[in-house]
Amino acid sequence: MVLADLGRRINSAISSLNRSPTIDDKQLDAALKEICTALLESDVNVKLVASLRSRVRTKVKAALEGGADKAKEAQRRNVVQKTVFDELVSLVNPGVEPYKPKKGQSNIIMAVGLQGNGKTTTCTKLAVYYQKRGFKSCIVCADTFRAGAFDQTRQSATKAKVAYFGSYTETDPVVIAAQGVEKFRKERFEIIIVDTSGRHKQEKDLFAEMEQISAAVKPDMTILVLDASIGQAAEAQSRAFKEAADFGAIIVTKMDGHAKGGGAISAVAATQTPIIFLGTGEHLSDLERFAPEPFISKMLG
């Protein structure tokens, strides 16, 4: 189920509760069941859904019991609506502030993630985003694993008028990353984005390489790039990357497609790391800032 449909299902569960003359346990449970089924069908992690359900139930009951006799039915409904909204927001809000790049200094950003998740595309989108906001931005292509990765960076960076660095001959990604970052630091670039290799699945080699690149370039922020269609595999994958690369932010790509999105959202809770942007298309400007409340408001329409 795509996120817009998820929003519609949650809204309809709340409105059917609103239509009933009173809200008793049975009606509350029926509405919660519908909301939780919708979340599960969107690939939100099973444990997260279970704990959301019990928290909503406890909070709503406490609020209703607090002033149940006197409270008007409309107020009771507001309690349900507000509690569900707050819980959905907290699902995508780990309460951690991501790194904020500063002008007048070199901010090193390293992107990690599995192959095909949209890492290279996202690196160029990020460079464009910051360049538009007055940061002198560039990309270092340290992906020596995928044939054609440097060509892809070269083409998209050229199109976006963003400086880039890479090599057709050097095979050690750690050397390329270190050289690129050193060169751009000297040239006083403010946003230096290091694109790293992906693999088709988590492999020891990939994690060892990420650790070495990270040690060489000392990123101010490491970003995990996750495809929105990852599904229930998100938890294990994001945990594994967190251990190896200790990323401080997540970008979820391909939110424009038919992906359910709930899996990628679950990565926030699994790693207590904030989502900072959503990729919403193949064009370089298809990058949206992510903030928990507006995201949930928009989803619920």
Do residues 247 and 276 make contact, with C-beta atoms less than 8 angstroms apart? no
**Based on CB atoms, which residue is closest to ligand GDP, 120 or 238?**
120
Interface map 89-128 toward ligand GDP (x if CB under 6 A)? ------------------------x-xxxxxxx-------
How far apart (Å, rounded) are the C-alpha atoms in residues 221 and 142? 16
Q: Are 101 and 190 in contact (CB under 8 A)?
A: yes
Burial-class residue 85 by CB neighbours within 10 Å (0-12, 13-18, 19+).
middle
Binding mask of the shown chain, residues 55 to 84, with x at each position contacting ligand GDP by CB under 6 A: ------------------------------
Site for ligand GDP in 236-265 (CB under 6 A): 253-254, 256-257
Instruction: State the nearest-atom distance from the C-beta of 211 to ligand GDP, in Å.
Output: 19
**Contact flag: residue 156 with ligand GDP (CB under 6 A):** no
Comparing CB distances to ligand GDP, the nearer of 66 and 116 is 116
Judged by beta carbon, residue 84 or residue 111, the one nearer ligand GDP is 111
Using CB under 6 A as the binding criterion, the count of chain residues that bind ligand GDP stands at 18
Residue among 42 and 81 whose Cβ is closer to ligand GDP: 42
Q: Which of residues 186-225 bind ligand GDP (CB under 6 A)?
A: 198
Considering the complex, state which of residue 203 and residue 282 has its C-beta at the smaller distance from ligand GDP.
282
Which of 146, 158, 125 has the alpha carbon at shortest distance from 278? Answer: 125
Q: Which residue of 144, 238, 273, 280 would you call a contact of ligand GDP, by CB under 6 A?
A: 280
**Hey, which bits of 129-262 come out as E strands?**
137-142, 163-165, 191-196, 221-227, 249-253
Q: Do the Cβ atoms of 133 and 163 come closer than 8 Å?
A: no
| Bridging pattern class, strands 275-279 and 221-227 | unpaired
Q: Which of 279, 284, 292, 296 binds ligand GDP (CB under 6 A)?
A: 279
Q: Is 283 exposed, middle or buried (0-12, 13-18, 19+ CB in 10 A)?
A: exposed
Q: What is the dihedral of CA 50, 265, 41, 1, to 10 degrees?
A: 150
Contacting positions for ligand GDP (CB under 6 A):
113, 115-121, 198, 253-254, 256-257, 279-282, 286
